[in-house]
Amino acid sequence: MLALETGMRRSEIASIKWQHINLVKRTLLIPITKNGEAREVPLSSVAISLLKSLQNGTEAKVFNITAHAITIAFGRACKRAKLSNLHFHDLRHEAISRLFEKGLSLAEVATISGHKTWTMLRRYTHLSAENIAMKLV
């Protein structure tokens, strides 16, 4: 759920620390990213609720799991659900598409996802023709 709400990579999710979450500002700092630049991710109401439900007050990290373990667990869940050819990274594609469908601008989505160019961001965007048609009414 957090991946769908934030568009974060599995390595970013695995490394979330409570000290990087600001529930008042509704943001999450990712100090180390794939492109080497820290970024702040705005948190939706769903993401805030999820994070609050996970608070235990004793651990430094939100999830006691590695990025590789996320991949393994996701693969097992897909197998149990009889889903084939679905990967954890596909959640990032879906999240970014949803952000555009909510009406966020290119700059806003790029800020959330951490993409530096439209060319790279476009590869992650799979907009629904049906949703676009609804805007044309």
Please give the positions annotated as active site.
Answer: 9, 34, 89, 92, 115, 124
Chain centroid to CA 37: how far?
16
CA distance 51 to 21: 9
CA distance 20 to 62: 10
Pair of tokens at residue 61: 């990290």
CA distance 61 to 21: 11
Which among 110, 85, 90, 87 is positioned nearest to 100, based on CA atoms? 110
